[in-house]
A and B are shown apart, each in its own frame.
Chain A
């Protein structure tokens, strides 16, 4: 969306609210609900979608007053950013807007946790993207492999950035992809496993692009994987820990998240598959002795996952049931119990060849 269009949407929001006030009506903002009750799983597309339920934030309701005021402050600041052609991190935005309210000891924002969710509210309510509001989250995630990316006129060969690879920024819209030589994209949950595979030159030996999400994937990372799979027509395979948290990270990469369900189409990679760690790996590779016992929070998380419509595939129900019955979880790095090279030389190539992948 063009900057001018974003500015006019923000201005219209302001005008509508001002009009309410002038007409002596309670000023309000309508927001799509982002709770599970308004999230639908589109099985055909394998994507989370936002329903059409909305909630209203009204200034005269004192339970909403503060958030209402904060939302408008954010909108105003975004309009300024777009007009000045500046981009701020969400943390910078928070500091830009934080000040003491006149004649009080109260701040407009007490911490960043107050402003972050309101940014998403603004995105969904205006139908604009965060990056279109000239906001960016912190950079998170790394990419390595034979791929040349054009960033603001610079050409970056991602195979020539040493062991650390390309740091994925929060906004990747302006990236253009040039030459590449890869058969698939391997997305890895932990930074430590990524480093192991880099050291083993896995991406070179197996001709793939490797991406690390470093825990729950940030938007930039998800958008990049989405674009790579769509634009370069490459399949994507994910490699996570064998626990409910790792599986959920996979599901977010694949189908999108509840918080950003409105952007699933741009962020999700529905054809992605999971290589491991699976519960069947434990027996197949004789890893029983290097598992860890499930904690109460793990068990609770498992039962939560079983409630989600996008975990209703029989393979996933089996995995989660197996995890419960074994009462254990397994980390990616537990494979080091065999040898440091095992993961790169045995585990991944074998499973990929045999297509032992979960949907």
Chain B
């Protein structure tokens, strides 16, 4: 085992070394799939993704309600112009070359923070793709709102991995935001499930504070309007939670820490780890935690892990995670899908392997515009998101897809799930999403993530079932009433003859009787529902034996 401390940093070093040794284009070609540029449709969707996420992340950090315009023009066969603009904070002119003209310039890789931009390589990749396929520079227009607007044309100097500014104009105008225009070849537009339109539709659902205008190559304009005025808080970096840590991760962190003692290393590197907690840990381990953290051995780290398992900690902080929130997801779903029924659930945060907090949000929409229109009818559609960014590709192996199909939807009253007008929305939030490597379009089958998604879906399924059975009962009730009224009219006139009484009086009394009987059914039904609900809640419990909620104390530190 050779120096296993290197980990992620070594990988990043290797990447940069690769830039120096080979050409950047070669790197791009070799890693196209990883960067999201495999396939004609996918490349176009990736370009739109890079532009949109840049805009959304920037607006979020600056506290601005995003207005985004995307336009795609057809210039010839597999030849398009993509333009995007936003009302974001603008990019200070000195940063423009790095943002658009330098591959892997960002620092996102090494922050324990939830950002959409974890996918792809950033907007510089768009510059490179345009340059490789058309030989043309990209056009950028940006202003921070200080009265000066910059219009820049740039390419990437592929030997130096550095922007090559071809043109720079500056003029006075009070405008703020960033616009980008690029020409690309070898890509293809369509309105299908994996195209830019669907990407934007799903982005709109996951980002209800955003207003997106899209003009497709046919000139059709679609506006996905915002359903919320609340700007999400920008996520903040967080330390790992002790529960769920693994030995090698402790060793990695210990090598990187500036702390001189193992006990202060634990307090500074982990969340929810107080001095009091370290004292508890000390009780369980056989060595002195005063030692140099860089000298912790594998078995000592194992002892720490075992001690952590016996100790109670506060639940992981949500700070690193910024869920969309049930109210906003519901508004977005109502806004975009206009369904007959919807149920939304944001689960409390959990940690997956490595002590990394994650959180699951799900929604189910049935009827209305929910589901996917195919030739012969409406089919079920799954909208997968990672940190609010839509995942359109590689659905098959994704943990979300598998979690959805692991749910027995028949149990919840959806008989033919595949062929029902159902949209299932799943957003997995985490400071570090365990993607299946290629293209970051698919989440690895992490047991805990799958379990969370599954439980969340089961809960919204139960809510649907309640609605469904209520609706069915209402229909039955109406049918019963119709039967009683239908026969009641025959009965009233016959009874009048038989009993020598007034027909109209009998008719009215009978009508009253039927009405009251049907109302009576309402009360019975409510009682039935309540007991049904109780049984269901008693039913399948969430047996999260590894991290029971009881493990976490509730008072604040």
Contact = CB atoms under 8 A, between A and B. Distances in A.
Given A11-B499, A62-B484, A79-B498, A73 B514 contact: no
Interface string B455-488: 0000000000000000000000000100110111
A215 B506 CA distance: 46
B497 A76 contact: yes
B490 A101 contact: yes
Which DSSP category, helix, strand, loop or mixed, fits chain B's interface? Answer: helix
Contacts of B223: none
A60 B506 contact: no
A11 B498 CA distance: 5
B499 to A, nearest CB: 3
A66 interface: yes
B513 A24 contact: yes
B484 A24 contact: no
A118 interface: no
A18 B484 contact: no
A104 interface: yes
Nearest to B489: A102
A60 B514 contact: yes
A79 B506 CA distance: 19
A68 B491 contact: yes
Nearest to A17: B495
B286 interface: no
A133 B336 CA distance: 69
A141 B486 CA distance: 41
Given A18-B506, A101-B490, A76 B498 contact: yes
A18 B489 contact: no
A11 B505 CA distance: 17
Contacts of B505: 22
Interface string A60-76: 10100110110011011
A10 interface: yes
Contacts of B499: 11, 14-15, 17-18
Contacts of A192: none
Contact of A60 (B484, B490, B501): B484
Given A13-B498, A79-B498, A102-B489, A24 B483 contact: no
A98 B520 CA distance: 33
B495 A18 contact: yes
Contacts of A104: 486
Interface centre among B487, B488, B497, B510 (most CB of A within 10 A): B487
Which DSSP category, helix, strand, loop or mixed, fits chain A's interface? Answer: helix
B192 to A, nearest CB: 46
Contacts of B6: none
Given A26-B513, A69-B494, A18 B480 contact: no
A19 to B, nearest CB: 8
Contacts of B498: 10-11, 13-14, 17, 72, 75-76, 79
A85 interface: no
A25 B512 CA distance: 11
A316 interface: no
Nearest to B509: A21
Given A22-B509, A60-B513, A72 B486 contact: no
A283 interface: no
B509 A106 contact: no
A76 B490 CA distance: 11
A58 to B, nearest CB: 11
Nearest to B518: A60
A273 B169 CA distance: 124
A72 B496 CA distance: 10
Interface in B197-226: none
A21 B487 contact: no
Given A11-B498, A21-B509, A24-B509, A66 B487 contact: yes
Interface string A130-148: 0000000000000000000
Contacts of B483: 62, 65-66
A56 to B, nearest CB: 16
A105 to B, nearest CB: 11
A320 B491 CA distance: 49
Interface residues of B, number: 25
B487 A65 contact: yes
Nearest to B505: A22
B523 to A, nearest CB: 15
A108 interface: yes
A59 B486 CA distance: 12
A15 B501 contact: yes
B500 interface: yes
Interface string A266-282: 00000000000000000
Nearest to B499: A14
A89 B529 CA distance: 51
B517 interface: yes
B486 to A, nearest CB: 6
Contacts of A80: 497
A60 B484 CA distance: 7
B516 interface: yes
Contacts of A25: 513
Contact of A72 (B480, B495, B501): B495
Contacts of A59: 484, 487-488, 491
B484 A14 contact: no
A59 B517 CA distance: 11
Contacts of A72: 491, 494-495, 498
Contacts of A14: 495, 497-501
B484 A101 contact: no
Given A14-B498, A62-B483, A62-B484, A73 B509 contact: no
Interface in A1-41: 10-11, 13-15, 17-18, 21-22, 24-27
B486 A101 contact: yes
B428 to A, nearest CB: 49
B491 A69 contact: yes
Interface in A225-243: none
B505 to A, nearest CB: 7
Given A62-B480, A101-B486, A108-B490, A24 B516 contact: yes
A26 B491 CA distance: 13
A18 B490 CA distance: 14
Nearest to A66: B487
Interface string B226-238: 0000000000000
A359 B421 CA distance: 72
A6 to B, nearest CB: 13
Nearest to B514: A60
B491 to A, nearest CB: 5
Nearest to A102: B489
Contact of A21 (B484, B500, B506): B506
Nearest to B501: A18
A286 to B, nearest CB: 62
Contacts of A69: 487-488, 490-491, 494
Nearest to B497: A76
Interface string B396-431: 000000000000000000000000000000000000
Interface of B: 480, 483-484, 486-491, 494-495, 497-501, 505-506, 509-510, 512-514, 516-517
15 contacts: A14-B495, A14-B498, A14-B499, A15-B501, A18-B495, A18-B506, A21-B495, A24-B513, A59-B488, A68-B487, A72-B494, A72-B495, A102-B489, A104-B486, A108-B490
Interface of A: 10-11, 13-15, 17-18, 21-22, 24-27, 59-60, 62, 65-66, 68-69, 72-73, 75-76, 79-80, 101-104, 106, 108
Given A18-B501, A60-B484, A62-B484, 7 more contacts: A11-B498, A11-B500, A14-B498, A21-B510, A60-B513, A68-B491, A102-B489
Closest 4 CB pairs of A and B: A14-B498, A14-B499, A69-B487, A76-B494
